Structure 1
């Protein structure tokens, strides 16, 4: 299915009825990462998966896809479906977008799960690395994707999930260069959402991998206490939905 938003086609899937759950993918991913979870979840509730701007089949809206712009896209889809309240699970960048949605429309947020994500903004060093990444993508998108996706998991899991990671790379290579750089620029300028998360009184949880090379586990361990979030610890890297599928599947069925 698709929705026309600001002269751009936004692609999404929606299955099941009642108690909506929105699943938002991360950077260099698409809504396809949620397919293994969809059938089971849709038996008991409505599940909405969205290709965020510049990813999957969704087009490019602007040169910079801020998290706030992406949140507006998500709201557009929910409004189109007549959904006034939903629970969100966001992986990595999808978590940033979920927090931006919470800030945009707290009354429409029933619950929030950040998977391999954080409410913190980029560090100064990370912002510099975002700029470097933009330059690399513009020079050689394929090489960047190969390196970036390999760096999300441990060396052992690069071997264990060789086929799945190859599929992620294959899909990411179909994304336009401008869509990838727009997301990098948007993540670079995102603001700190710690207060937004702390003030949210409904169900909230953070899933963190002990060997996540992107979101340091120690920082999340401290943050969950300050933000009063449920903490779900996983033993692997940045792709908990893949590396720890069984545990994540059980958890998302437990939500609500």
Structure 2
């Protein structure tokens, strides 16, 4: 029997692998699911000195090789998508497909870079807990901010448990990441975009030109969804990922 096709789900900034627990609960057993903690997040907090997307890509390559995975579908939420793009740039033969879940191949704008610096300064002055109390809420679409209070608290708790070195290091790494639209343009595998129309972190207008770059592109545009579709529209986004996996693996 051939080994099961592998889906790797990569969490975003201030998150951990726990965000995927409910999302993947009903995934069929025809796939092997891997949900690593990226460097500095969750339980993966020991001896981390480099938080760059390139370091995350190298870590992911080692993580997959240790588990004898030759090729996988990468599903990256937000910063997880940045890490997935860095991985795809360096290890294209290990990528069966790429799903950018509220993520982008563009670098930060100058305005966004300035905001990263402000956030770093805030964290250093006031701590991670205060930062997460203001950071998470705007990531939900306005229609969902009161409806999904438990989910917001869940994410805030994960974020507050993240070391200050990780938060500031990851903010710098996101600020310094390069333009990786060429990865989309040269992708020899299908690419999926899951886009929230109310996403303040990755505005839909900035994504539209990217949708046509891959040779095979699949797009899901979501009304009343911000940056957290796995909570804001879990059934729809789960089905989209599974349908995409079926296309990638011919199932």
The TM-score normalised by the length of structure 1 is 0.90
1:184 aligns with 2:171: yes
What is the aligned residue count? 240
1:231 aligns with 2:219: yes
What is the distance in 1 between the residues matched to 2:130 and 2:56?
Answer: 26
Q: 1:158 aligns with which of 145, 149, 152?
A: 145
What is the distance in 2 between the residues matched to 1:190 and 1:61?
Answer: 22
| DSSP-derived class of the 1:36 partner | coil
What is the distance in 2 between the residues matched to 1:232 and 1:136?
Answer: 34
| DSSP-derived class of the 1:39 partner | coil
What is the distance in 1 between the residues matched to 2:25 and 2:129?
Answer: 32
Q: 1:200 aligns with which of 170, 187, 191?
A: 187
- CA displacement at 1:160 relative to structure 2: 0.6
Distance 1:114 1:61, change over 3 A: farther
Q: 1:217 aligns with which of 199, 204, 219?
A: 204
- CA displacement at 1:188 relative to structure 2: 0.7
Gaps of 5+ in 1: 1-16
- CA displacement at 1:42 relative to structure 2: 5.2
- CA displacement at 1:222 relative to structure 2: 2.5
| DSSP-derived class of the 1:113 partner | strand
What is the distance in 1 between the residues matched to 2:233 and 2:45?
Answer: 30
The TM-score normalised by the length of structure 2 is 0.92
- CA displacement at 1:143 relative to structure 2: 1.4
- CA displacement at 1:64 relative to structure 2: 4.4
Q: Check the 8 A contact 1:121/1:191 in 2, yes or no.
A: yes
Q: Which runs of 4+ in 1 moved over 6 A?
A: none
Distance 1:42 1:32, change over 3 A: farther
1:117 aligns with 2:103: yes
- CA displacement at 1:197 relative to structure 2: 1.2
Q: What is the match of residue 243 of structure 1?
A: 232
What is the distance in 1 between the residues matched to 2:116 and 2:199?
Answer: 18
Q: Check the 8 A contact 2:40/2:48 in 1, yes or no.
A: no
What is the distance in 2 between the residues matched to 1:81 and 1:63?
Answer: 24
Q: What is the match of residue 27 of structure 1?
A: 13
Aligned Cα root-mean-square deviation (Å): 1.4
Q: Which moved more, 1:85-94 or 1:146-155?
A: 146-155
Q: Check the 8 A contact 1:71/1:100 in 2, yes or no.
A: yes
